[in-house]
């Protein structure tokens, strides 16, 4: 049977392919990032002792997903090129149906991949959600519509923000000391998220959620609510300052001097609602 003449010679085609591959490689090199950076999608540098565990789980998941993606796309492209019909009257390539070994593979391989991801996730989650009996510090965090209260349990002082963007609260943490966050909400579900800690946890009404970290980088970080909780969700911002112990103590003394002694509880926010919620910003009937 006659086949259509191939207009490009084999060496010419190879040259084209290798030029394309070379260009892609050069582009990757020119972007100046390592595989780890490329696959962490610009995640912040881990700022706690626990964060590298999360970073490597994230990185590993992307390596596995990229491998599967490249392999699948590669097989599709290969089959499309290798088995394309060379002329309109050429016979279709051999078709495979009810191939038991192949179908078993389609079932077993994804199962192994999912079990693998489950194993690493469960293993790391088990470590990351451990809370020690006597941490160096405890901060009871109340997420409410539309800000945050931070109660420094050991010092008996608090700080609280309002939904005004220029008035966002700042959470102080001493560097290289463990801290347990106890999370509670008086209203709806929020999520306590400090991106640089690579960790977030939901803040529920009527349920105490906890996690423990040890910040190990001095600096100022962003914090936010990561659960779409209502109309002013986007205003639920806070700052995190990880500082040396003396500066932390100075800040605690400042809060005490300002009279912010005691605790902002979920009950208190429910009772004094308007003070914190600023309902008067909304026209009658809008909420
Ligand atoms: Cu929220």
From the list 187, 193, 183, the residue with the least C-alpha distance to 231 is: 187
Ligand 1 center–CA 231 separation, angstroms? 9
Ligand 1 center–CA 88 separation, angstroms? 61
Rounded Cα distance between 85 and 102, Å, is 24
**Burial track 53-74 (b if 16+ CB lie within 10 A, e otherwise):** bbbebebbebeeeeeeeeeeee
Ligand 1 center–CA 191 separation, angstroms? 6
For the entire predicted model, the pTM comes to 0.78
Ligand 1 center–CA 143 separation, angstroms? 7
Rounded Cα distance between 126 and 6, Å, is 59
Q: How would you classify the pairing of strands 170-174 and 237-243?
A: parallel
Query: pLDDT tens across 238-247, in order?
Result: 999 999 999 9
Strand, helix or coil for residue 182? strand
Ligand 1 center–CA 14 separation, angstroms? 56
* pLDDT confidence of residue 282: 46
Ligand 1 center–CA 224 separation, angstroms? 8
pLDDT at residue 284 tops 50: no
Ligand 1 center–CA 240 separation, angstroms? 17
Q: How would you classify the pairing of strands 237-243 and 209-213?
A: unpaired
- Residue 121: pLDDT band with limits 50, 70, 90: very high
Ligand 1 center–CA 174 separation, angstroms? 25
From the list 181, 224, 182, the residue with the least C-alpha distance to 48 is: 181
Tokens standing for residue 126? 């088990």
Tokens standing for residue 63? 């390596």
Query: pLDDT tens across 43-60, in order?
Result: 788 899 999 999 999 888
Ligand 1 center–CA 204 separation, angstroms? 10
* pLDDT confidence of residue 287: 41
Ligand 1 center–CA 189 separation, angstroms? 7
Ligand 1 center–CA 279 separation, angstroms? 16
- Residue 270: pLDDT band with limits 50, 70, 90: confident
Those residues with Cβ within 8 angstroms of residue 182's Cβ, 6 or more apart along the chain or in another chain: 138, 139, 140, 141, 208, 209, 210
pLDDT at residue 23 tops 60: yes
pLDDT at residue 132 tops 60: yes
Rounded Cα distance between 124 and 199, Å, is 12
Rounded Cα distance between 215 and 125, Å, is 18
Ion ligand 1, residues whose Cβ is below 5 A away: 190, 225, 229, 236
From the list 190, 183, 196, the residue with the least C-alpha distance to 239 is: 196
Query: pLDDT tens across 186-211, in order?
Result: 989 999 999 999 999 999 999 999 99
Whether the upstream peptide bond of residue 20 has omega within 30° of 0, thus cis, is no
Ligand 1 center–CA 225 separation, angstroms? 5
The structural domains of the chain, with segments of one domain joined by +, span: 31-84+96-128, 137-273
Those residues with Cβ within 8 angstroms of residue 52's Cβ, 6 or more apart along the chain or in another chain: 46
Tokens standing for residue 250? 């100075």
Query: pLDDT tens across 134-165, in order?
Result: 999 999 999 998 889 999 999 999 998 876 66
Give the CA angle between residues 86, 89, 94 to the nearest 5°.
70
Contact 264, 158 (CB under 8 A): yes
Ligand 1 center–CA 198 separation, angstroms? 18
Ligand 1 center–CA 145 separation, angstroms? 6
Q: Which CATH superfamily is domain 137-273 in?
A: Cupredoxins -  blue copper proteins (2.60.40.420)
User: Of all residues in the chain, what percent are helix, strand and coil, respectively (each to 5)?
Assistant: 45, 20, 35
User: What is the arithmetic mean of pLDDT over 165-175?
Assistant: 88
Q: How much of the chain, in percent, has pLDDT values that exceed 70? A: 81
């Amino acid at each position: 049977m006659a086949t259509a003449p191939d207009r490009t010679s084999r060496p010419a085609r190879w040259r084209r392919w290798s030029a394309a591959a070379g260009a892609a490689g050069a582009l990757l090199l020119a972007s100046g990032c390592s595989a780890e950076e490329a696959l962490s999608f610009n995640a912040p540098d881990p700022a706690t002792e626990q964060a590298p565990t999360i970073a490597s789980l994230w990185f590993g998941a992307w390596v596995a997903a990229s491998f599967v993606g490249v392999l699948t796309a590669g097989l599709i492209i290969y089959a499309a090129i290798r088995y394309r019909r060379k002329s309109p009257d050429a016979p279709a390539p051999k078709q495979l149906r009810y191939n038991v070994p192949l179908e078993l593979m389609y079932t077993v391989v994804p199962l192994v991949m999912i079990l693998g991801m489950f194993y690493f996730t469960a293993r790391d989650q088990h470590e990351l959600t451990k809370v020690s009996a006597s941490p160096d510090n405890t901060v009871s965090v109340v997420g409410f519509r539309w800000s945050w209260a931070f109660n420094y349990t050991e010092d008996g002082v608090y700080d609280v923000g309002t939904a005004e963007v220029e008035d966002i609260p700042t959470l102080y943490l001493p560097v290289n000391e463990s801290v347990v966050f106890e999370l509670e909400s008086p209203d709806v579900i929020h999520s306590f998220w400090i991106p640089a800690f690579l960790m977030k946890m939901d803040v529920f009404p009527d349920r105490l959620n906890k996690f423990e970290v040890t910040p190990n980088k001095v600096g100022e970080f962003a914090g936010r609510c990561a659960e779409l909780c209502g109309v002013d969700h986007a205003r639920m911002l806070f700052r995190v300052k990880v500082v040396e112990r003396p500066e932390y103590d100075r800040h605690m003394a400042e809060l005490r001097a300002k009279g912010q002694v005691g605790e902002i509880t979920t009950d208190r926010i429910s009772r004094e609602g308007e003070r914190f919620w600023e309902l008067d910003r909304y026209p009658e009937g809008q909420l």
